[in-house]
């Protein structure tokens, strides 16, 4: 069974209620079909149908009749990108022209209420909605085929993806054993968006590598990569609450405005609850003493500190300073385990950790702006005495949770290397993708060694 979002249903109902002034054949063709299970049939694909509809509905003459020759000419559009039925609706030139048309029509809709404009605008919005459905169906079909292959005898149902602008779905996979798994599936970071006409770009192998490194370190979730093309690559992550319960840190930070939020937070950070929101009113030595007798607080500090170091080495952004991109998995009899559910990859020119980046770590800030984060997180990453933060980071990288980071990078690299070189859709892009992957792989190993070397040689500044 497939579920539509309420927003999409409202759009469809509004569009079809507004249809007027068209012949029944064209009107019927524009109706968005229900998404149904894949069936074997002969004839044009849903994508081919949409491309043909675009060529029939979005003709230059029709826009001239509504806006006038001079206005349409001033737009400077390549109308062949829309009128040629042989051009795919997913072609970059067609996507670009559709996006520009949408801007023009949306602006005109502020003061145009005549029937001819309304009819054209309605048809255009209907086509956009239909394109969204085609992309969604394609994603779900790829997901169904993938999970049926790796979990023989399973059943897959889809629901609306939780938040975000990227095209995606939430897949409930019911295994033959009776186990149920929830996978959150979305396009890669430069893939298709759910509510905007934009051409997908070639997948970034560095993003895929990071997902796998996070999985192997335990801070990420089980991750799978699915694809329809080199641009349409989908990332499926097992629900962070699998085997327990999960809450985003935004709840612990008390930003949801719900009862019990602060109590939940105290279960994660223990005596750190006593830290005053005004740093000037805290006795940091007393805080350190209280931490030594609280295993919950120690666990919290170890995990956020480890993820801070990992973020700096992997060059991740929008993580610990975004309370909606991480949270904690709770299992009976175990300490809360930090889990990452989203992040942003740094630009290529920012991959290498240097003295300036290490200085950011020593300051407990840098790009990450921890000084403005939640008081418990801020203590572990900013307010805590520098010697304690340095000692903790060095212990994690040499003896603790990140001591096998070199091995995790290698295991992740082998996975992505195999994915790129053994997947048919990447045949024409192997050289480019592997080039980017190899550079990033080497930089990460250098970053690990650099960080360990700087931590080992660090000495307290002379007052």
Domain boundaries, the chain: 6-138, 245-457
Count Cα atoms within 13 angstroms, Cβ side, for 89. Answer: 24
Specify the DSSP element, H or E, that contains 187: strand 180-187
Q: 10 Å Cβ neighbour count for 257?
A: 6
Strands (E), 24-135: none
* Chain-centre distance for alpha carbon 24: 41
pLDDT of residue 27: 47
Q: 10 Å Cβ neighbour count for 266?
A: 16
The torsion angle over the Cα atoms of residues 128, 133, 138 and 139, rounded to 10 degrees, is 100
pLDDT of residue 16: 34
Give Dmax over CA atoms of the chain in angstroms.
84
Burial class (CB in 10 A: 0-12, 13-18, 19+), 459: exposed
Per-residue pLDDT of the chain (463 residues; tens, 9 = 90+): 333 344 333 333 343 333 333 444 444 444 434 444 444 445 678 888 888 888 988 999 999 999 999 999 999 998 988 898 888 888 888 888 888 999 999 999 999 999 999 999 999 999 988 888 888 899 999 999 999 999 999 999 999 887 777 889 999 999 999 999 999 999 998 887 755 556 788 999 999 999 999 999 999 999 999 999 999 999 999 999 999 999 999 998 876 555 567 788 889 999 999 999 888 999 999 999 999 999 999 999 999 999 999 999 999 999 998 999 999 999 999 999 999 999 999 887 778 889 999 999 999 998 888 998 899 999 999 999 999 999 999 999 999 999 999 999 999 999 999 999 999 999 999 999 999 999 999 999 999 999 999 999 999 876 5
Nearest to 449 by CA among 414, 409, 411, 415: 409
Specify the DSSP element, H or E, that contains 175: none
- Cα–Cα distances in Å, from 134 out to 54, 57, 188? 14, 18, 18
Bridge partners, residue 384, by sequence: none
pLDDT of residue 17: 38
Nearest to 214 by CA among 321, 298, 325, 301: 325
pTM of the entire structure?
0.83
pLDDT of residue 285: 92
DSSP structure string for 276-329: -SSGGG--HHHHHHHHTT-HHHHHHHHHHHHHHHHHHHHTEESSTT-TTSEEEE
Bridge partners, residue 448, by sequence: none
Q: 10 Å Cβ neighbour count for 31?
A: 13
The three-state secondary structure class of 114 is coil
Nearest to 324 by CA among 159, 163, 161, 160: 163
Q: How far apart are CA 239 and CA 44, in angstroms?
A: 36
């Amino acid at each position: 069974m497939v579920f539509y979002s309420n927003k999409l249903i409202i759009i469809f109902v509004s569009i079809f209620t507004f249809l007027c002034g068209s012949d029944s054949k064209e009107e019927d063709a524009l109706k968005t079909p229900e998404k149904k299970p894949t069936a074997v049939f002969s004839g044009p694909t849903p994508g081919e149908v949409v491309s043909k509809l675009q060529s029939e509905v979005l003709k230059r003459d029709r826009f001239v009749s509504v806006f006038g020759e001079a206005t349409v000419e001033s737009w400077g559009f390549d109308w062949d990108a829309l009128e040629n039925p042989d051009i795919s609706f997913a072609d970059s030139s067609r996507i670009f022209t559709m996006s520009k048309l949408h801007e023009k029509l949306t602006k005109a809709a502020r003061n145009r209420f005549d029937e001819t404009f309304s009819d054209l605008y309605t048809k255009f919005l209907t086509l956009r909605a239909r394109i969204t459905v085609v992309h969604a169906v394609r994603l779900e079909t790829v997901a169904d085929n993938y999970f049926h292959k790796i979990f023989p005898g399973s059943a897959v149902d889809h629901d609306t993806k939780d938040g975000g602008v990227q095209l995606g779905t939430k897949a409930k996979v019911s295994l033959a054993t009776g186990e149920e798994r929830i996978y959150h599936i979305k396009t890669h970071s430069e893939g298709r968006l759910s509510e905007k006409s934009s051409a997908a770009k070639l997948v970034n192998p560095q993003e895929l590598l990071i997902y796998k490194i996070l999985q192997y370190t335990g801070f990420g979730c089980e991750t799978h990569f699915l694809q329809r093309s080199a641009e349409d690559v989908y990332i499926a992550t097992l629900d962070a609450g699998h085997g327990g319960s999960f809450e985003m840190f935004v709840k612990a930070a008390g930003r949801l405005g719900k009862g019990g939020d602060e109590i939940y937070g105290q279960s994660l950070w223990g005596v750190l609850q006593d830290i005053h929101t005004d740093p000037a009113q805290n006795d940091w030595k007393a805080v350190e003493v209280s931490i030594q007798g609280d295993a919950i607080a120690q666990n919290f500090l170890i995990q956020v500190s480890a993820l801070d170091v990992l973020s700096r080495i992997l060059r991740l952004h929008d993580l610990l300073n975004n309370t909606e991109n991480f949270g904690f998995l709770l299992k009976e009899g175990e300490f809360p385990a930090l889990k990452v559910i989203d992040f942003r990859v740094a630009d290529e020119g920012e991959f290498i950790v240097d003295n300036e980046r290490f200085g950011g770590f020593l300051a407990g800030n840098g790009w990450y702006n921890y000084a403005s984060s939640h008081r418990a997180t801020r203590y572990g990453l900013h307010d805590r005495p520098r010697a304690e933060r340095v000692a903790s980071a060095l212990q994690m990288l040499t003896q603790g949770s990140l001591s096998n980071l070199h091995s995790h990078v290698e295991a992740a690299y082998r996975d992505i290397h195999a994915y790129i070189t053994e997947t048919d859709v990447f045949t024409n892009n192997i050289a480019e993708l592997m080039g980017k992957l190899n550079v990033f792989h080497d930089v990460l190993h250098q970053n690990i060694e650099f960080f360990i070397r700087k931590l080992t040689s660090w000495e307290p500044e002379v007052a």
